[in-house]
Structure 1
Amino acid sequence: MNPILSLLGRRLLTAWLLGSSLAAWAADAMPSPQDSPALARMAHSGRIRVGYIPTPGTFAFQDAQGQTVGYSIDICRRVIDNLRQRLGRPDLTPEFLPIKASDRIPMLKSGAIDLECGGNTNTMARQKDVDFSHTFFNTGLRLLARKTLRINRVNDLARKRVAVTGGTTAEERFKKMQMEVGVQVVVVASDAEGLSALEDGTVDAYAQDDVLLYGLMATSRLKDLLAVTGPFMTVEPYAFMLPKDDRLLREVVDRTLLDLMRSGELLSIYRKWFDGERLRIPMSIYMKENIRFPNKYGIP
């Protein structure tokens, strides 16, 4: 064979293969709505709509400058950095939207938000409608009350008025306890409303995951009179909530979390928000195990 023709053939083959690879990469980098409705929206609009339930001082909230910050928001921003690379859109801009707990699943299903980055408990019932990331925090349901209220066991709540936020696992648990021990359940719209009801004496206690209660107590005008009390009544594995069956988005989120766990950066983010001067909540053994053995276990 003519060596010139042979060289030309190799170059043409290389060019063809390179072109095919670039075309495949471009097709992969710009997913179609069938592959990933969420990523397709982001690629088209240049923005990502991130929902979160406001949890003052902890997972997701607005600071004094009006910026959305918090433990889960720090993690979410790492996800957004990886999405920028995945989509080839360094200009991808987050739009953080405070929402109610009862709205997060309907908004994900309708495409009104692309991701929920607050503190969401992974439950088997919710898994029917949405997907979850790897667990990034563990907590459990307890009570915020005045120090004068002694709650050592569930039966101590008989005839007590307890506020819960609608659409949460706390509401589900206390609706059952309403029949079991005679607790009076008061449904509120948010953590802030629950704290206000406790401060005003409208309720005897506010039920929520203990880490959120510590954050609320730190912001209360009556913080020296309040305490997080009572036994753990649930186990709550927190994860990001994602649109159902959006594999490409789920892969980016999960890879981000696994990288943070393996590098040790997740420990630094935890200490920043939960083990410093304002809050002193040492990392639990359950949280440490989640980092060692990443999982997506949902509770019944």
Structure 2
Amino acid sequence: MQLSGTLAKVKESGAITLGVREAAGLSYTLGNGKYTGFHTEMGEIVLRDIQKSLGMPKLDIKYQPVTSQNRIPLVMNGTIDIECGSTTNNRTRQRDVAFAVTTFVEEQSIAVKLSSGITSIKELNGRTVAGTLGTMSLAQLRRHPRAVGVDFKELSGKDHSDSFGLLEMGRADAFVMDSSILARFISRSANPAGYKILADTFAHEPIACMLRKDDAAFKKMVDDSIKRQIADGSLWLLYDKWFMKPIPPSNERVGLPLSASTQSAWSSPNDKPMEDYTN
């Protein structure tokens, strides 16, 4: 097999670099250079499938933490070969990078403290809402029809942990972000019962592993692995492990059932951008 692009680089070097997140709902750190989460573990399985396809006796997986701000440049400049964090596939990003088939359809929502009395987007009027730098959540909320006439102040955290801290400390009345991220931070907080995620969701975003553009052979191998994991049921079991069962070592339970949107994406694997979804 004549290899080119990322596959040639991987075969020659014996290594591949996986972009991961330090504090996100689908990918996060355990400390000491160890990374885990639903999307991280799925990405590792993808890379082992690629190792088998290339007939490599050994593949060194290197982990590179990325942020909302630097993840796309690090894919483009070759620092990382594939990013399986929590990146939304949209048309703007498709100008610079490629995406594997969708592995999670994120719903944008809002976390609040129960004591706030907030139950809907309309009740954010006059409140302070936190978001994370480099993400689109606050802008999407502003643009949504249900937010018309709602005047709220914005605060931005440097990362998701910082943003949740703004809510936790009372500097913000709400934190707007992906439901999986909100559920993860609430489950790991000092008082999980003191928070809730509003049912008033306002966007659907296809989350996928990010790759360099114009590398069709590598993308096909990544897509084939994901489709295999869907078809044999292993991706469903992986989701159950990370979102419905207690997670060691603290044994917190996220409690985020597989959404109908994600099930639909898995039943017909595709790499459609966010703009093709109805919100």
Confirm or deny: 8 A CA contact 1:108 1:115 kept in the other structure: yes
Cα deviation for residue 63 of structure 1 reads: 2.6
- Counterpart residue number, 1:200: 169
Cα deviation for residue 65 of structure 1 reads: 6.7
Confirm or deny: 8 A CA contact 2:112 2:118 kept in the other structure: no
Confirm or deny: 8 A CA contact 2:18 2:63 kept in the other structure: yes
Confirm or deny: 8 A CA contact 1:54 1:60 kept in the other structure: yes
**Given the superposition, is the C-alpha separation of residues 180 and 49 from structure 1 closer, same or farther in structure 2, using an over 3 Å criterion?**
farther
Confirm or deny: 8 A CA contact 1:130 1:241 kept in the other structure: yes
Report SS of the residue matched to 1:48: strand
Task: Count the aligned residue pairs.
Answer: 267
Identity %: 26
Deviation per CA, 1:108-165, whole angstroms, max 9, x where unpaired? 1111111111121111221111111111112211111110223343222122111111
The structure 2 residue matched to 1:246, chosen from 212, 215, 219, is: 215
- Counterpart residue number, 1:164: 131
- Counterpart residue number, 1:88: 55
> How far apart in 2 are the matches of 1:168 and 1:260?
29
Deviation per CA, 1:191-237, whole angstroms, max 9, x where unpaired? 11111111111211111111211111011123231111251111111
The structure 2 residue matched to 1:78, chosen from 45, 48, 55, is: 45
- Counterpart residue number, 2:180: 211
2:17 is equivalent to residue 42 of structure 1? no
CA RMSD in angstroms comes to 2.0
Cα deviation for residue 189 of structure 1 reads: 1.7
- Structure 1, unmatched stretches of 5+, are 1-24
**Given the superposition, is the C-alpha separation of residues 123 and 150 from structure 1 closer, same or farther in structure 2, using an over 3 Å criterion?**
farther
In structure 1, give the amino acid aligned to 2:259: S
Confirm or deny: 8 A CA contact 1:100 1:189 kept in the other structure: no
**Given the superposition, is the C-alpha separation of residues 116 and 171 from structure 1 closer, same or farther in structure 2, using an over 3 Å criterion?**
farther
> How far apart in 1 are the matches of 2:52 and 2:88?
29
> How far apart in 1 are the matches of 2:213 and 2:150?
37
- Counterpart residue number, 1:5: none
- Counterpart residue number, 2:250: none
2:42 is equivalent to residue 67 of structure 1? no
- Counterpart residue number, 1:15: none
- Counterpart residue number, 1:275: 244
In structure 1, give the amino acid aligned to 2:269: P
Cα deviation for residue 273 of structure 1 reads: 0.5
Would you tell me which structure has more helix in proportion to its own residues?
1
2:267 is equivalent to residue 292 of structure 1? yes
**Given the superposition, is the C-alpha separation of residues 154 and 221 from structure 1 closer, same or farther in structure 2, using an over 3 Å criterion?**
same
**Given the superposition, is the C-alpha separation of residues 96 and 119 from structure 1 closer, same or farther in structure 2, using an over 3 Å criterion?**
same
Report SS of the residue matched to 1:140: strand
- Counterpart residue number, 2:249: none
Report SS of the residue matched to 1:236: strand
**Given the superposition, is the C-alpha separation of residues 150 and 237 from structure 1 closer, same or farther in structure 2, using an over 3 Å criterion?**
farther
Superposed, 1:247-262 pairs within 5 Å as 247-262=216-231
2:196 is equivalent to residue 190 of structure 1? no
Q: Which has the larger radius of gyration?
A: 1
> How far apart in 2 are the matches of 1:117 and 1:246?
17
**TM-score, length-normalised on structure 2?**
0.88
Report SS of the residue matched to 1:214: helix
> How far apart in 2 are the matches of 1:194 and 1:230?
20
In structure 2, give the amino acid aligned to 1:43: K
**Given the superposition, is the C-alpha separation of residues 291 and 174 from structure 1 closer, same or farther in structure 2, using an over 3 Å criterion?**
closer
Confirm or deny: 8 A CA contact 1:199 1:222 kept in the other structure: no
Confirm or deny: 8 A CA contact 2:105 2:207 kept in the other structure: yes
Confirm or deny: 8 A CA contact 2:132 2:163 kept in the other structure: yes
Cα deviation for residue 182 of structure 1 reads: 2.0
Confirm or deny: 8 A CA contact 1:175 1:185 kept in the other structure: no
Confirm or deny: 8 A CA contact 2:120 2:198 kept in the other structure: no
> How far apart in 1 are the matches of 2:221 and 2:149?
43
In structure 2, give the amino acid aligned to 1:161: T
Confirm or deny: 8 A CA contact 1:274 1:282 kept in the other structure: yes
The structure 2 residue matched to 1:135, chosen from 102, 108, 117, is: 102
